[in-house]
Protein backbone atom coordinates (compact mmCIF):
# COMPACT_ATOMS: atom_id res chain seq x y z
CA UNK A 1 0.00 0.00 0.00
CA UNK A 2 1.50 3.34 -1.06
CA UNK A 3 1.40 6.59 0.90
CA UNK A 4 -1.75 7.95 -0.76
CA UNK A 5 -3.62 4.65 -0.37
CA UNK A 6 -2.77 4.64 3.35
CA UNK A 7 -4.05 8.20 3.61
CA UNK A 8 -7.30 7.21 1.90
CA UNK A 9 -7.83 4.33 4.33
CA UNK A 10 -7.09 6.59 7.31
CA UNK A 11 -9.54 9.15 5.96
CA UNK A 12 -12.33 6.58 5.51
CA UNK A 13 -11.77 5.12 8.97
CA UNK A 14 -11.75 8.56 10.57
CA UNK A 15 -15.03 9.51 8.92
CA UNK A 16 -16.61 6.25 10.02
CA UNK A 17 -15.34 6.66 13.60
CA UNK A 18 -17.11 10.01 14.00
CA UNK A 19 -20.41 8.46 13.01
CA UNK A 20 -19.84 5.47 15.29
CA UNK A 21 -19.50 7.83 18.26
CA UNK A 22 -22.97 9.19 17.46
CA UNK A 23 -24.73 5.83 17.04
CA UNK A 24 -26.02 5.61 20.65
CA UNK A 25 -27.69 9.04 20.39
CA UNK A 26 -31.38 9.75 20.09
CA UNK A 27 -32.24 12.22 17.35
CA UNK A 28 -32.98 14.88 19.98
CA UNK A 29 -29.44 14.60 21.39
CA UNK A 30 -27.90 15.86 18.15
CA UNK A 31 -29.07 19.47 18.49
CA UNK A 32 -28.58 20.32 22.18
CA UNK A 33 -26.12 23.03 23.29
CA UNK A 34 -26.40 23.42 27.09
CA UNK A 35 -23.43 25.82 27.42
CA UNK A 36 -21.38 27.85 24.97
CA UNK A 37 -18.35 25.53 25.20
CA UNK A 38 -20.40 22.46 24.24
CA UNK A 39 -21.40 22.18 20.60
CA UNK A 40 -24.28 20.04 19.32
CA UNK A 41 -23.15 16.68 17.90
CA UNK A 42 -24.83 17.62 14.61
CA UNK A 43 -22.57 20.66 14.39
CA UNK A 44 -19.39 18.60 14.92
CA UNK A 45 -20.42 16.24 12.11
CA UNK A 46 -21.09 19.18 9.81
CA UNK A 47 -18.06 21.27 10.76
CA UNK A 48 -15.52 18.50 10.14
CA UNK A 49 -17.18 17.96 6.76
CA UNK A 50 -17.05 21.67 5.94
CA UNK A 51 -13.31 21.64 6.69
CA UNK A 52 -12.68 19.03 3.98
CA UNK A 53 -15.01 20.77 1.55
CA UNK A 54 -13.50 24.25 1.91
CA UNK A 55 -9.82 23.54 2.50
CA UNK A 56 -9.52 20.67 0.01
CA UNK A 57 -12.36 19.93 -2.38
CA UNK A 58 -13.11 23.53 -3.35
CA UNK A 59 -9.42 24.14 -3.99
CA UNK A 60 -7.98 20.90 -5.32
CA UNK A 61 -10.76 18.83 -6.97
CA UNK A 62 -11.58 20.02 -10.47
CA UNK A 63 -15.29 20.54 -11.08
CA UNK A 64 -16.30 20.07 -7.45
CA UNK A 65 -19.72 21.49 -6.58
CA UNK A 66 -20.47 22.35 -2.97
CA UNK A 67 -23.32 20.39 -1.40
CA UNK A 68 -25.01 23.60 -0.26
CA UNK A 69 -23.35 27.02 -0.49
CA UNK A 70 -25.18 28.15 2.68
CA UNK A 71 -23.53 25.51 4.87
CA UNK A 72 -20.30 27.48 5.07
CA UNK A 73 -22.10 30.06 7.21
CA UNK A 74 -23.46 27.34 9.52
CA UNK A 75 -20.38 25.17 9.95
CA UNK A 76 -17.42 27.55 9.91
CA UNK A 77 -16.03 27.63 13.46
CA UNK A 78 -13.55 30.46 13.95
CA UNK A 79 -11.84 31.00 10.59
CA UNK A 80 -12.30 34.73 10.12
CA UNK A 81 -10.61 34.65 6.72
CA UNK A 82 -13.13 32.05 5.49
CA UNK A 83 -16.14 34.36 5.81
CA UNK A 84 -19.00 35.13 8.16
CA UNK A 85 -20.46 32.43 10.37
CA UNK A 86 -23.07 31.59 12.98
CA UNK A 87 -21.77 32.73 16.36
CA UNK A 88 -20.77 29.94 18.70
CA UNK A 89 -23.56 30.60 21.19
CA UNK A 90 -26.21 30.03 18.49
CA UNK A 91 -25.11 26.62 17.24
CA UNK A 92 -27.79 24.91 19.31
CA UNK A 93 -30.54 27.19 18.01
CA UNK A 94 -30.48 25.75 14.50
CA UNK A 95 -32.94 22.97 13.77
CA UNK A 96 -31.86 23.02 10.13
CA UNK A 97 -30.02 21.59 8.37
CA UNK A 98 -31.59 18.47 9.81
CA UNK A 99 -29.55 15.58 11.14
CA UNK A 100 -30.46 13.64 7.99
CA UNK A 101 -29.26 16.55 5.86
CA UNK A 102 -25.93 16.61 7.71
CA UNK A 103 -25.38 12.90 7.18
CA UNK A 104 -26.19 13.38 3.49
CA UNK A 105 -23.68 16.25 3.42
CA UNK A 106 -21.08 13.99 4.99
CA UNK A 107 -21.69 11.31 2.37
CA UNK A 108 -21.38 13.83 -0.46
CA UNK A 109 -18.06 15.16 0.83
CA UNK A 110 -16.69 11.74 1.78
CA UNK A 111 -17.36 10.46 -1.74
CA UNK A 112 -15.71 13.51 -3.29
CA UNK A 113 -12.72 13.20 -0.95
CA UNK A 114 -12.40 9.53 -1.90
CA UNK A 115 -12.18 10.62 -5.53
CA UNK A 116 -9.56 13.25 -4.69
CA UNK A 117 -7.51 10.80 -2.64
CA UNK A 118 -7.62 8.25 -5.45
CA UNK A 119 -5.54 10.64 -7.54
CA UNK A 120 -1.83 11.26 -7.15
CA UNK A 121 -1.41 14.04 -4.58
CA UNK A 122 1.27 16.67 -4.45
CA UNK A 123 3.01 17.39 -1.17
CA UNK A 124 0.93 20.48 -0.39
CA UNK A 125 -2.40 18.71 -0.90
CA UNK A 126 -1.29 15.70 1.11
CA UNK A 127 -0.29 17.95 4.02
CA UNK A 128 -3.72 19.61 4.09
CA UNK A 129 -5.44 16.20 3.94
CA UNK A 130 -3.43 15.13 6.99
CA UNK A 131 -4.48 18.24 8.86
CA UNK A 132 -8.11 17.61 7.93
CA UNK A 133 -7.98 14.02 9.17
CA UNK A 134 -6.35 14.97 12.46
CA UNK A 135 -8.74 17.89 12.81
CA UNK A 136 -11.64 15.44 12.68
CA UNK A 137 -9.89 13.20 15.21
CA UNK A 138 -9.67 16.18 17.57
CA UNK A 139 -13.37 16.75 17.11
CA UNK A 140 -14.07 13.12 17.95
CA UNK A 141 -12.75 13.78 21.45
CA UNK A 142 -14.78 16.97 21.70
CA UNK A 143 -17.78 15.09 20.33
CA UNK A 144 -17.60 12.50 23.10
CA UNK A 145 -17.02 15.00 25.90
CA UNK A 146 -19.80 17.22 24.57
CA UNK A 147 -22.14 14.23 24.47
CA UNK A 148 -21.24 13.43 28.07
CA UNK A 149 -22.06 16.99 29.10
CA UNK A 150 -25.35 16.94 27.20
CA UNK A 151 -26.43 13.68 28.83
CA UNK A 152 -24.84 14.26 32.23
CA UNK A 153 -26.66 17.55 32.74
CA UNK A 154 -30.00 16.00 31.87
CA UNK A 155 -31.91 15.22 35.11
CA UNK A 156 -32.64 11.73 33.75
CA UNK A 157 -28.87 11.10 33.35
CA UNK A 158 -29.34 8.80 30.35
CA UNK A 159 -26.81 6.08 29.60
CA UNK A 160 -24.60 6.51 26.54
CA UNK A 161 -22.58 3.30 26.85
CA UNK A 162 -19.43 1.93 28.44
CA UNK A 163 -16.12 3.71 27.88
CA UNK A 164 -12.96 1.81 28.78
CA UNK A 165 -10.95 3.41 31.60
CA UNK A 166 -13.51 6.11 32.32
CA UNK A 167 -12.91 4.87 35.86
CA UNK A 168 -9.13 4.51 35.86
CA UNK A 169 -7.18 2.99 38.77
CA UNK A 170 -3.39 2.97 39.03
CA UNK A 171 -2.33 0.03 41.20
CA UNK A 172 1.31 0.94 41.81
CA UNK A 173 2.55 2.73 44.91
CA UNK A 174 2.78 6.51 44.80
CA UNK A 175 6.31 7.86 44.50
CA UNK A 176 7.94 11.21 43.79
CA UNK A 177 10.45 10.85 40.96
CA UNK A 178 13.51 13.13 41.16
CA UNK A 179 14.68 14.91 38.00
CA UNK A 180 18.10 16.54 37.77
CA UNK A 181 18.60 20.13 36.75
CA UNK A 182 19.93 20.62 33.27
CA UNK A 183 19.32 21.59 29.69
CA UNK A 184 16.75 19.43 27.88
CA UNK A 185 15.28 19.32 24.39
CA UNK A 186 11.56 20.05 24.10
CA UNK A 187 9.22 19.71 21.14
CA UNK A 188 8.45 17.49 18.18
CA UNK A 189 11.32 16.44 15.94
CA UNK A 190 10.38 13.65 13.53
CA UNK A 191 8.71 13.12 10.16
CA UNK A 192 5.48 11.97 11.81
CA UNK A 193 2.49 14.30 11.85
CA UNK A 194 2.31 16.96 14.53
CA UNK A 195 0.62 20.33 14.97
CA UNK A 196 2.54 23.52 14.44
CA UNK A 197 2.33 24.41 18.15
CA UNK A 198 4.56 21.40 18.97
CA UNK A 199 7.43 22.89 16.99
CA UNK A 200 10.20 23.82 16.69
CA UNK A 201 12.31 21.62 18.90
CA UNK A 202 14.32 23.78 21.27
CA UNK A 203 16.30 23.69 24.50
CA UNK A 204 15.13 24.65 27.99
CA UNK A 205 16.89 24.76 31.34
CA UNK A 206 15.07 23.38 34.38
CA UNK A 207 15.95 23.48 38.05
CA UNK A 208 15.87 20.16 39.97
CA UNK A 209 12.36 18.93 40.79
CA UNK A 210 10.37 15.83 41.56
CA UNK A 211 7.13 14.67 39.99
CA UNK A 212 4.58 12.08 41.06
CA UNK A 213 4.36 8.75 39.27
CA UNK A 214 0.58 8.71 39.86
CA UNK A 215 -2.39 10.92 39.21
CA UNK A 216 -4.33 12.33 42.16
CA UNK A 217 -7.22 10.03 43.09
CA UNK A 218 -10.87 10.55 44.00
CA UNK A 219 -10.11 9.53 47.57
CA UNK A 220 -7.38 12.14 47.87
CA UNK A 221 -9.73 14.72 46.40
CA UNK A 222 -12.39 13.82 48.95
CA UNK A 223 -9.85 14.54 51.71
CA UNK A 224 -9.33 17.96 50.14
CA UNK A 225 -13.08 18.55 50.15
CA UNK A 226 -13.54 17.31 53.72
CA UNK A 227 -10.76 19.63 54.89
CA UNK A 228 -12.64 22.60 53.46
CA UNK A 229 -10.62 22.96 50.28
CA UNK A 230 -13.45 24.69 48.44
CA UNK A 231 -13.94 27.11 51.37
CA UNK A 232 -10.28 28.05 51.94
CA UNK A 233 -9.64 31.33 50.12
CA UNK A 234 -5.91 31.19 50.92
CA UNK A 235 -5.17 28.38 48.44
CA UNK A 236 -7.00 29.80 45.43
CA UNK A 237 -6.11 32.29 42.74
CA UNK A 238 -8.33 35.36 42.96
CA UNK A 239 -10.00 34.44 39.66
CA UNK A 240 -10.37 30.86 40.84
CA UNK A 241 -11.97 31.91 44.11
CA UNK A 242 -14.37 34.20 42.23
CA UNK A 243 -15.25 31.25 39.98
CA UNK A 244 -15.93 29.01 42.99
CA UNK A 245 -18.14 31.62 44.65
CA UNK A 246 -20.04 32.64 41.54
CA UNK A 247 -20.81 29.06 40.49
CA UNK A 248 -21.22 27.46 43.95
CA UNK A 249 -18.51 24.90 43.20
CA UNK A 250 -17.93 22.27 45.89
CA UNK A 251 -16.83 19.17 43.94
CA UNK A 252 -15.55 18.05 40.52
CA UNK A 253 -17.94 18.13 37.59
CA UNK A 254 -20.43 15.25 37.46
CA UNK A 255 -20.15 14.59 41.23
CA UNK A 256 -23.47 14.49 43.08
CA UNK A 257 -24.12 14.19 46.82
CA UNK A 258 -27.08 11.88 47.31
CA UNK A 259 -28.02 11.76 51.01
CA UNK A 260 -24.39 11.90 52.08
CA UNK A 261 -23.10 9.46 49.46
CA UNK A 262 -21.10 10.82 46.55
CA UNK A 263 -21.92 9.49 43.10
CA UNK A 264 -20.69 10.55 39.70
CA UNK A 265 -22.19 10.55 36.25
CA UNK A 266 -20.34 8.35 33.80
CA UNK A 267 -21.17 7.60 30.19
CA UNK A 268 -22.44 4.28 31.55
CA UNK A 269 -24.75 6.06 34.01
CA UNK A 270 -24.64 7.15 37.65
CA UNK A 271 -22.13 5.20 39.78
CA UNK A 272 -20.73 5.32 43.30
CA UNK A 273 -17.36 7.07 43.28
CA UNK A 274 -14.33 4.78 43.46
CA UNK A 275 -11.83 6.42 45.86
CA UNK A 276 -8.90 4.64 44.18
CA UNK A 277 -9.69 5.93 40.70
CA UNK A 278 -8.05 9.01 39.22
CA UNK A 279 -10.03 12.19 39.77
CA UNK A 280 -11.31 13.76 36.58
CA UNK A 281 -13.31 16.69 35.25
CA UNK A 282 -11.47 19.33 37.26
CA UNK A 283 -10.34 22.73 36.01
CA UNK A 284 -6.97 24.43 36.36
CA UNK A 285 -8.22 26.57 39.25
CA UNK A 286 -9.10 23.42 41.19
CA UNK A 287 -5.87 21.65 40.29
CA UNK A 288 -3.84 24.66 41.46
CA UNK A 289 -5.75 24.92 44.74
CA UNK A 290 -5.33 21.21 45.45
CA UNK A 291 -1.58 21.43 44.83
CA UNK A 292 -1.38 24.42 47.17
CA UNK A 293 -3.30 22.50 49.82
CA UNK A 294 -0.79 19.65 49.53
CA UNK A 295 2.16 22.04 49.82
CA UNK A 296 3.21 21.20 46.28
CA UNK A 297 2.58 22.54 42.78
CA UNK A 298 1.68 21.56 39.24
CA UNK A 299 4.53 20.69 36.87
CA UNK A 300 5.35 22.99 34.00
CA UNK A 301 4.72 21.55 30.57
CA UNK A 302 8.49 21.25 30.09
CA UNK A 303 8.92 19.37 33.37
CA UNK A 304 6.11 17.03 32.31
CA UNK A 305 7.66 16.32 28.90
CA UNK A 306 11.11 15.75 30.37
CA UNK A 307 9.83 13.29 32.98
CA UNK A 308 7.09 11.49 31.02
CA UNK A 309 9.21 8.44 30.20
CA UNK A 310 9.37 7.65 33.92
CA UNK A 311 5.62 7.26 34.50
CA UNK A 312 2.51 5.99 32.72
CA UNK A 313 0.22 8.54 31.14
CA UNK A 314 -2.58 8.68 28.61
CA UNK A 315 -5.86 8.35 30.52
CA UNK A 316 -6.35 11.96 31.64
CA UNK A 317 -5.29 15.31 30.24
CA UNK A 318 -2.98 16.69 32.93
CA UNK A 319 -3.06 20.35 33.88
CA UNK A 320 0.31 22.08 33.92
CA UNK A 321 1.45 25.41 35.33
CA UNK A 322 2.40 26.63 31.86
CA UNK A 323 0.65 29.34 29.91
CA UNK A 324 -0.12 28.42 26.31
CA UNK A 325 2.50 30.37 24.37
CA UNK A 326 4.43 29.86 21.13
CA UNK A 327 7.78 28.12 21.24
CA UNK A 328 10.86 30.16 20.26
CA UNK A 329 10.93 30.72 16.48
CA UNK A 330 7.38 29.40 16.07
CA UNK A 331 6.00 29.88 12.57
CA UNK A 332 2.30 29.63 11.85
CA UNK A 333 1.00 28.39 8.51
CA UNK A 334 0.15 30.79 5.70
CA UNK A 335 -3.45 31.66 4.92
CA UNK A 336 -6.55 30.46 6.77
CA UNK A 337 -4.77 27.42 8.23
CA UNK A 338 -2.63 29.88 10.15
CA UNK A 339 -5.71 30.45 12.32
CA UNK A 340 -5.63 26.84 13.54
CA UNK A 341 -3.47 27.31 16.66
CA UNK A 342 -1.46 30.50 16.83
CA UNK A 343 -4.25 32.97 17.50
CA UNK A 344 -5.30 31.08 20.64
CA UNK A 345 -1.95 31.50 22.38
CA UNK A 346 -3.20 33.83 25.11
CA UNK A 347 -5.04 33.41 28.44
CA UNK A 348 -5.05 29.61 28.32
CA UNK A 349 -3.25 26.83 30.18
CA UNK A 350 -1.42 23.86 28.66
CA UNK A 351 -2.46 20.27 29.38
CA UNK A 352 -0.19 17.35 28.55
CA UNK A 353 -0.64 13.64 27.97
CA UNK A 354 -3.95 12.51 26.52
CA UNK A 355 -7.22 11.00 27.69
CA UNK A 356 -9.44 8.00 27.16
CA UNK A 357 -11.20 9.98 24.44
CA UNK A 358 -8.04 10.99 22.57
CA UNK A 359 -7.19 9.40 19.22
CA UNK A 360 -4.36 6.90 19.71
CA UNK A 361 -2.09 8.68 17.25
CA UNK A 362 -2.54 11.94 19.16
CA UNK A 363 -1.22 10.40 22.38
CA UNK A 364 2.35 11.63 22.08
CA UNK A 365 4.55 13.37 24.65
CA UNK A 366 4.91 16.59 22.64
CA UNK A 367 1.17 17.18 22.11
CA UNK A 368 0.05 20.49 23.62
CA UNK A 369 -3.61 20.69 24.52
CA UNK A 370 -4.93 23.97 25.88
CA UNK A 371 -8.04 25.29 27.60
CA UNK A 372 -9.17 28.26 29.61
CA UNK A 373 -8.49 27.72 33.34
CA UNK A 374 -12.18 27.47 34.33
CA UNK A 375 -13.10 24.66 31.91
CA UNK A 376 -13.49 21.10 33.15
CA UNK A 377 -15.77 19.14 30.83
CA UNK A 378 -12.81 17.37 29.24
CA UNK A 379 -11.28 14.23 30.81
CA UNK A 380 -8.81 16.22 32.89
CA UNK A 381 -6.74 15.30 35.95
CA UNK A 382 -3.57 16.33 37.73
CA UNK A 383 -0.15 15.11 38.76
CA UNK A 384 1.82 16.87 41.50
CA UNK A 385 5.36 18.22 41.36
CA UNK A 386 7.75 19.82 43.80
CA UNK A 387 10.89 21.93 43.49
CA UNK A 388 14.00 20.39 45.06
Can you give the pTM of this predicted structure? 0.95
Cα gap 322→285, rounded to integer Å: 13
Three-point CA angle 365, 303, 207, nearest 5°: 155
| Rounded Cα gap, residues 270 and 250, in angstroms | 18
3-state secondary structure at position 266: strand
If residue 139 lies in a helix (H) or strand (E), which one and from where to where? helix 123-152
Q: Mutual orientation of helices 3-22 and 123-152 as an angle, nearest 10°?
A: 10
**CB neighbours of 242 closer than 8 A, spacing ≥ 6?**
none
Class of domain 176-387: alpha beta
CATH dotted code for 3-152: 1.20.120
Sheet holding 349-353, edge to edge: 369-371, 349-353, 317-323, 380-381
Residue 381, CA distances (Å) to 90, 95, 221, 254, 337 in order: 30, 35, 11, 14, 30
Rounded CA separation 197/184 (Å): 18
| Boundaries of every domain in the chain | 3-152, 176-387
Which run of H or of E encompasses 44? helix 41-52
**What string of pLDDT tens digits covers the 388 residues of the chain?**
566 679 999 999 999 999 999 999 999 999 999 999 999 999 999 999 999 999 999 999 999 999 999 999 999 988 877 889 999 999 999 999 999 999 999 999 999 999 999 988 999 999 999 999 999 999 999 999 999 999 999 999 999 998 888 999 998 999 999 999 999 999 999 889 999 999 999 999 999 999 999 999 999 999 999 999 999 999 999 999 999 999 999 999 999 998 889 999 999 999 999 999 999 999 999 999 999 999 999 999 999 999 999 999 999 999 999 999 999 999 887 776 777 777 888 999 999 999 999 999 999 999 999 999 999 999 999 999 999 9
Check if the beta carbon of residue 287 is closer than 8 Å to that of residue 319: yes
Amino acid sequence: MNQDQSLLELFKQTRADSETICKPLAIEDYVVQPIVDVSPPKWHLGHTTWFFEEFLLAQFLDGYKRYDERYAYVFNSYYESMGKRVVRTDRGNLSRPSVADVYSYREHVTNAMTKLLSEELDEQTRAVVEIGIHHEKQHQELLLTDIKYILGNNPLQPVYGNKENEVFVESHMAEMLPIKEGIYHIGHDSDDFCYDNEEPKHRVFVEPYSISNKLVTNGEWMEFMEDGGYENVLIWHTEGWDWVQKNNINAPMYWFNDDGEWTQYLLSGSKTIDPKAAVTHICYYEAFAYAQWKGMRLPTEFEWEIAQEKFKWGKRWEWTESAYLPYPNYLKADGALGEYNGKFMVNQKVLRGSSIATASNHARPTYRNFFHPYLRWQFTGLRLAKSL
